[in-house]
Structure 1
Amino acid sequence: MPFFRSIENFVQEFTRRESRLDMLFNNAGVLYTNARNVTVDGIETHMGINALGHYYLTLLLIPSLSASFKAHPSRPPRVCFTSCASHAQATKKGFDPEDVYGTNAAGTGTRGGFAAYANSKMANVLSAYKLQRIYGDEGITL
């Protein structure tokens, strides 16, 4: 089953069973230091699992998070994107889908699977900032 389709299936089943969501903790992650892997959708594994999957899941669950806010405005729903200090080791030019392992990233000192991991962790930080700007005024705390 394609990676993103499995996320859609999960959200469909979740929303069938639940009417709202008070807390979403995006914590799945992988670290392959030397391997060059891709998801079944062809996306580099670190970016797909550690970042894009979290972002997509969160977007699909916005209606459930909004329903929680409407039900209890004094207890806004929360979304957490797990990252780590490794985000500071992201390649300086940013995520390059043509060079996810930092092979051509001069001066970063970060190469291989760790560069891809660090970039995925930076993507989590940026996702949280972006979604906070979009949904913060709607009562969802990121």
Structure 2
Amino acid sequence: MGSHLSVLGQSFPPKPNFRVDDIPDLTGKVIIVTGANTGIGKETVKALLAHNAKVYVAARSEEKADVAIKDLKGSTGKEAIFLKLDLGDLKSVKSAAEEYLSKETKLDVLFNSAGVMFPPKDLLTNDGYDLQFGTNVLGHFYFTKLLLPTLIATAKSAPDGKARVITTSSSAHVLSGLTFSTFKDGPARKKLSTADLYGQSKNGNVVQALELARRYGSEGIVSIPLNPGNIKTDLARHMPSFLRSILNLFLYDVEHGALTQLYAGTAPEAVELNGKYLVPWARLGPTRKDARDPKIGEALWEWLEEQVKDI
């Protein structure tokens, strides 16, 4: 019951104390935002560009990303850079990291912001994983792993000695534990609903981000998972329309949706939040108890490592 009450509190948060105007000047910072052609990701890029960061828009569709980049240039006067990334295809993830590293020698902040929600259950990743877990968790894990040496090197030379990995989870992470036998397609996965699988993937985001914090905090990595709030984006496109119309009555705009991750990724004081979980708007909040269990974190990390070792 406690978890559900805390989710309710996060659904109707108090007014934010942090505003986009509070973001410091980001001149010289290099940042990647995944899923940045739309929704919260795009809004995040807009604020980062407006504060002089060099930003890579990591997305599957070059066509959609180009439209977003043009639109962002119109509103900020700054041009983001496209990085082709399909999180549902591990070879594409590897190519994206290689492409980035051929252009840049530093990475100050990685926003793991992309996500899929409630896709038809028969959809899998190119590698045969549940589409939600494979995209939201495994794809982001591999991308982060490939960029980790650069993040650590950047932290060493940064004035505050830190580089940040910000992972967008959801209040839905409290709804589902991790059942390893459902990460790939099979009988156990088929028994779960798309909502179960979504909750599990968002829990996986938290578990993986907290394990990253435990493993690499001493090397200057600040890993923060968060719930961005209940936000009006096209993430809900697979929901039945009647449900969507009810939900829309309780949703906030994308400007609010980007606030918590912008705080985590840019506020000077947020470097002290390695291994903490944030809720709307830029506040510390509770997670599922088992999401903080180091044994579960280690088990998930080892499973993820196993999946990507031969890509």
The alignment of Structure 1 onto Structure 2 pairs a total of residues equal to 133
Q: Name stretches of at least 5 consecutive residues in structure 2 with no aligned partner.
A: 1-85, 224-311
- State the Cα distance separating 1:75 from its structure 2 match: 4.7
Alignment of 1:31-50 (within 5 A): 31-32=117-118, 34-50=120-136
What secondary structure, in the 3-state scheme, does the structure 2 residue paired with 1:41 have?
Answer: coil
1:133 aligned residue: 214
Counterpart amino acid of 1:42? G
CA displacement 1:70-110 (0-9 Å, x = unmatched): 2215151100111011001114x634324235x2xxxxxxx
User: Are positions 1:60 and 2:143 aligned together?
Assistant: no
Identity, in percent, stands at 35
In structure 1, what is the Cα distance between the partners aligned to 2:197 and 2:146?
A: 25
Q: Name stretches of at least 5 consecutive residues in structure 1 with no aligned partner.
A: 104-110
112-121 or 26-35, which moves further after superposition?
26-35
Counterpart amino acid of 1:115? D
For the Cα contact (< 8 Å) 1:95–1:119, is it kept in 2?
A: no
In structure 1, what is the Cα distance between the partners aligned to 2:162 and 2:119?
A: 38
What secondary structure, in the 3-state scheme, does the structure 2 residue paired with 1:96 have?
Answer: helix
What secondary structure, in the 3-state scheme, does the structure 2 residue paired with 1:67 have?
Answer: helix
2:189 aligned residue: 100
1:78 aligned residue: 164
CA displacement 1:23-56 (0-9 Å, x = unmatched): 0010111112553211111111000111111111
2:101 aligned residue: 15
32-41 or 113-122, which moves further after superposition?
32-41
Q: Which has the higher strand share?
A: 2
User: Are positions 1:122 and 2:203 aligned together?
Assistant: yes
2:297 aligned residue: none
For the Cα contact (< 8 Å) 1:87–1:118, is it kept in 2?
A: yes
TM-score computed with the length of structure 1 as normaliser? 0.85
